[in-house]
Amino acid sequence: MTAEPVIDTQDSPTAPVVVPPTVRASLSPSRAADFKTCPLLYRFRSIDRLPERPTVEQARGTLVHAVLERLFDLPAAARTPQSAGDLVAPQWDRLVTEQPELGTLFAEGDPTGVTEFLRSATALLEGYFAVEDPRRLEPAEREALISAVVDEELLIRGYLDRLDVAPDGALRVVDYKTGGAPREAFEARALFQLKFYALVLWRTRGVVPRMLRLLYLKDAEVCDYTPDAEELLRFERTVVALWQAIEQATERQDFRPRPSRLCDWCSHQALCPSFGGTPPPFPATSAGDPLTDARSRPVVPGADE
């Protein structure tokens, strides 16, 4: 098993990813978690690339992530609940301009719906301030794309919500969770994503992150996890095995449904045999280049709750 750095995001988070010629596929934590959760869900999202209309809950997650990212642009002393609240409406306007489909979530001429939506986003931000004081933090990265090559052929990459670096160099990966779904239904998936980021950081910086932190804004709770190198090595083998299983399933065009509680949040029940549906014919060719997987990022940032 080998790995080599692809990009060091600490100095240049937006620099283009340099992909070694041995690499022939890429995998994001979201897509890997899809396959682990349900192979058919992976197929619908990554091979058929079926569209998914964002839900109000996902849009709220996107908005809250955007506000928290911008909050750290302000001088430390100005990062107050009031400032965060003041960012909500302008950030929503920006998101709707950039992603017009978000604007269709609320019926035209229904200002009450939008007002209530913005108020609920502000309430989640209050949950954030209950668990952290951003005036005491200077994140090293926000919404940064990080990637590494494992097993010589597989590029693993994903977007970090936030990376904190302590004066002694210790890394803390922070992920904001804004979903209203029961936490136990998604906790394993969330931890899988954090370990994925930890693996990339370990492989690119040679440092195992000291802490992986989930911030549950709705419940105003913090969940910390401390990984170690041995665990990340096992995790790396799991990721490579997962990719091999995806390749095998693709070759056989065999992606089976795996029903679970997460089906309640799946957009594709109508096409799923577990719900009486029929998947579309398997695409003759993959809809996209696996190295430029547009779905590496959640459908909308922050929506992958």
55: contact with ligand SF4 by CB under 6 A: no
44, 268 contact by CB (below 8 A): yes
304: contact with ligand SF4 by CB under 6 A: no
**Closer by beta carbon to ligand SF4, 99 or else 269:** 269
Q: DSSP character for 211?
A: E
Cβ-Cβ contacts under 8 Å for 227 (sequence gap 6 or more): 195, 198, 208, 209, 212
What is the nearest approach in angstroms of ligand SF4 to the Cβ of residue 245? Answer: 16
**Which residues 64-103 are close enough to bind ligand SF4 by CB under 6 A?**
none
Q: Which stretch binds ligand SF4 (CB under 6 A): 33-41, 48-56, 98-106, 165-173?
A: 33-41
**Closer by beta carbon to ligand SF4, 34 or else 151:** 34
Separation between Cα atoms, residue 151 and residue 23, nearest integer Å: 9
What is the nearest approach in angstroms of ligand SF4 to the Cβ of residue 259? Answer: 4
Q: Which stretch binds ligand SF4 (CB under 6 A): 89-97, 144-152, 244-252, 271-279?
A: 271-279
Separation between Cα atoms, residue 40 and residue 292, nearest integer Å: 21
Q: DSSP character for 210?
A: S
Q: Which two structure tokens, joined as six digits, stand for 86? A: 């003041």
What is the nearest approach in angstroms of ligand SF4 to the Cβ of residue 55? Answer: 15
Strand partners, 223: 214
First to last CA, the chain: 31
What is the nearest approach in angstroms of ligand SF4 to the Cβ of residue 52? Answer: 11
Q: Which of 266, 261, 263 lies closest to 183 in space, CA to CA? A: 261
Separation between Cα atoms, residue 256 and residue 73, nearest integer Å: 45
Separation between Cα atoms, residue 118 and residue 163, nearest integer Å: 27
Separation between Cα atoms, residue 255 and residue 248, nearest integer Å: 10
In the list 41, 212, 217, 242, the residue contacting ligand SF4 (rule: CB under 6 A) is: 41
In the list 259, 290, 295, 297, the residue contacting ligand SF4 (rule: CB under 6 A) is: 259
What is the nearest approach in angstroms of ligand SF4 to the Cβ of residue 197? Answer: 24
At 71, the amino acid letter reads: L
In the list 262, 290, 295, 297, the residue contacting ligand SF4 (rule: CB under 6 A) is: 262
244 CB-side CA count, 13 A: 8
Size of the site for ligand SF4 (CB under 6 A): 14
What is the nearest approach in angstroms of ligand SF4 to the Cβ of residue 250? Answer: 16
At 211, the amino acid letter reads: M
268: contact with ligand SF4 by CB under 6 A: yes
258: contact with ligand SF4 by CB under 6 A: yes
266: contact with ligand SF4 by CB under 6 A: yes
Per-residue binding letters, 274-293, with ligand SF4 (x by CB under 6 A): xx------------------
269: contact with ligand SF4 by CB under 6 A: yes
64, 217 contact by CB (below 8 A): yes
In the list 209, 257, 301, 302, the residue contacting ligand SF4 (rule: CB under 6 A) is: 257
Task: Specify whether the backbone of 303 is left (phi greater than 0), alpha (psi in -120 to 50) or beta.
Answer: alpha
What is the nearest approach in angstroms of ligand SF4 to the Cβ of residue 47? Answer: 13
Which SS3 state, helix, strand or coil, does residue 146 take? strand
Q: Which residues bind to ligand SF4, rule: CB under 6 A?
A: 38, 40-41, 257-259, 262-263, 266, 268-269, 272, 274-275
